[in-house]
Structure 1
Amino acid sequence: MTSELIQSLSTGIEKLNLSINQIENLSNQIGTSTDSNDLRKKLADVQHSAKEIAQNAQRNLKELISDPINVNEFKIQKERLIDEFVKVFKIFQQVAETSLRKLKQFELPEQSASRGGNVTFQNEIEEANFGLGRSLNYEQEQSNIQINIDQDLQSVNDRDNQIQQLESDIIDLNTTFRDLAIILNDQQKTINAFENNINNADFTVMNTMFVLGSNSR
C-alpha cells in the first residue's frame, strides 16, 4: 500500500511539473503575435487539468501521511515527496495567478473591437448599406458582416468564460493548499507528541535504573 501511494504521488508531482511548464509556455505567448483564442482555450484547459492532478496528488499525500511507515527507506521517500509536492504546488499557484493576470490584461484585437459596443457594428452595417445600394451582393455583404460580429462576440464570451474558469481553479487551489497546510500541521503535532512520549519513556527508564542502582548499594 505504501509503495503504491509513493509511486502515485511521485507520478502526480511529475505530471504537475510538466503541466506547469506547458502553462508557462502558453502564458508567455499572451499579448504577443502568437496569441489567439485557441491558445487561450488551451491554456484554460491545461490549467484546469493541472488543478485536478494537484488535487489527486494531495489526496495521495494525505493517505501517505496517515499510513504507518516502519521501513526507513519509505520514510525517507515520504519526507522527500512531501517537500517536493509543497514546492511544486506553490509554483503552480504562482503560475496560475500570473496567467490569469495576463489574460485579464491583454485582449485579442477582435475582443477589443467587440467591446467597442454596438455602435461600431452598426456603423459597419450602415457603411455597407450606403456603399452597396441595390447591388446584387448586398445580402451577402450583410450576412458576412453579421457573421463577423457574431464571431467577435463569441470571442468575448470565450474570454469571459476562460477568466471565470481560471478564477474558479485558483479558488480551488487555495482551498487545497489550506487543506494541505492543515494535514502537514497535524502531522507535525503527531511527530512532536511521539517524540515527547519517547523522551518521557527514556526519562522514566533512566530514573528507574538510577533508583534500582541506589537500592542495590
Structure 2
Amino acid sequence: MEASYQGGVSYEETNNFQRLSQTIASNIKKISQNVSSMSKMVNQLQTPQDSQELRNQLRQIQNYTQKLAKDTSSLLMELMKLPVDQPAQKLQRDRLSDEYLSTLNAFQSTQRSAAQKSKEDVRKVKAQNINIGDPFAMNANNKELLEMGDTNVRKQEQLTMQSERELLELEERERDIRQLESDILDVNQIFKDLGTMIHDQGAVVDSIESNVEYAVQNVESGTQELRQAVNYKNKLRKKKVYIAIILIIIISILLIVIFHR
C-alpha cells in the first residue's frame, strides 16, 4: 500500500497531473495557432481579399477554437483540483494557467474584431439597399413595367433576384454575428469560472501556508520546551551529585573523628 504513494500524493494522481498538463499544453498551442490564423483572416476582411469563402473558413476555425477553449478550460479546472505537494508541479500548473488565460484573451480579442467588422458590413449593406427587405418593392410600377421591353423586364428580374440573394446573405451574416457574440459571452464565462477557481485555489494555498507557519511555531515552541526540560534535568543531576559529595565529606569527617577517639 505504501508503495503506491510518493510524497503524500499517489502515483495515479501524479500520472493524471502529467497527462492533463500535456493535453492542456498541446491545446494551448493549437488555440494559439488558430488565433494567429484567425487574426490574418480578420485583417483580410473589408479588403480586396475578402470573400464568402474566407468568411466561411473564419467561421469554421472560430467554432473549432471555441470548442477547444471550452474543453481546455474543463481540463485546467480538473488539473487545479488535483493535490500537489511538489513545488515543480505547482509552478507548472500556474504557468499553464497563465498561458491559457493569455491565449484565451487573444482569442476573444480576435472574436471582437471579427464581430465589429461584420457589423460594419451589415450596416453598409443596409444603407446601400434600403429596400433589401422588400425585393418586390417595384410592384407599384407594374403598369410601367408592362410597357417596358423584354430586356428591361429581364433586368428588373435580375435585380430582384440579386436583392433576394443579398437579403439571404445579410440574414446569414446577422446570424453569424449573433453566434459570435454568444461565443464571446461564453469566453467571458470561462474567464469568470477560472478566476473563481484561481481565487479559491489561492485561498487554499494561503490556508496551507498558515497551517505550515502554525506548525513551525509549534515545533519551535516544543523544541524550546524540550531544551528547557533538558536544562532542568541537567541541573537536577548536578544537585544530586553535589549532595552526594557533601554527604561523602560529612561521613568521612565523622569517621575520622570516631577513629581518632
Instruction: Tell me if both proteins adopt one fold, taking TM over 0.5 as the criterion.
Output: yes
Match of 1:89 among 82, 97, 104: 104
What corresponds to 1:163 in structure 2? 177
Deviation at 1:5, TM superposition (A): 0.4
Deviation at 1:119, TM superposition (A): 7.2
RMSD of the alignment, in Å?
A: 2.8
Determine if the alignment matches structure 1 residue 203 to structure 2 residue 217: yes
Match of 1:176 among 183, 190, 194: 190
What corresponds to 1:147 in structure 2? 161
Determine if the alignment matches structure 1 residue 57 to structure 2 residue 84: no
Unpaired stretches in structure 2, ≥5 consecutive residues: 1-15, 232-261
**Structure 1 residues 172 and 143: alpha-carbon distance in aligned structure 2, compared to 1, 3 A threshold:** same
Deviation at 1:76, TM superposition (A): 3.3
Higher RCO, Cα 8 Å, sep 6+: 1
1:16, 1:53 within 8 Å by CA — same for their partners in 2? yes
1:35, 1:108 within 8 Å by CA — same for their partners in 2? no
- Amino acid corresponding to residue 209 of structure 1 in structure 2: T
User: Using the alignment, how far apart are the partners of 2:49 and 2:124 within structure 1?
Assistant: 12
User: Using the alignment, how far apart are the partners of 2:156 and 2:120 within structure 1?
Assistant: 33
Deviation at 1:41, TM superposition (A): 3.2
Q: Deviations over 1:135-173 (max 9, x none)?
A: 3x6775554333212211111101111110111001111
What corresponds to 2:201 in structure 1? 187
What corresponds to 1:9 in structure 2? 24
Q: Deviations over 1:24-43 (max 9, x none)?
A: 11111222122233323332
**Structure 1 residues 208 and 109: alpha-carbon distance in aligned structure 2, compared to 1, 3 A threshold:** closer
1:111, 1:152 within 8 Å by CA — same for their partners in 2? no
Deviation at 1:79, TM superposition (A): 2.2
**Structure 1 residues 198 and 133: alpha-carbon distance in aligned structure 2, compared to 1, 3 A threshold:** same
Aligned residues: 215
Aligned-residue sequence identity (percent) comes to 24
Of the two, which has the highest radius of gyration?
2
User: Using the alignment, how far apart are the partners of 1:60 and 1:83 within structure 2?
Assistant: 14
| TM-score (ref. length: structure 1) | 0.85
What corresponds to 1:48 in structure 2? 63
What corresponds to 1:105 in structure 2? 120
Match of 1:37 among 52, 77, 80: 52
Q: Deviations over 1:1-55 (max 9, x none)?
A: 1111011101110111011112211111222122233323332332222121111
Unpaired stretches in structure 1, ≥5 consecutive residues: none
Q: Deviations over 1:89-129 (max 9, x none)?
A: 122222212221122123497665444446786459969x7
**Structure 1 residues 138 and 94: alpha-carbon distance in aligned structure 2, compared to 1, 3 A threshold:** closer
Deviation at 1:84, TM superposition (A): 0.7
**Structure 1 residues 66 and 115: alpha-carbon distance in aligned structure 2, compared to 1, 3 A threshold:** farther
What corresponds to 2:243 in structure 1? none
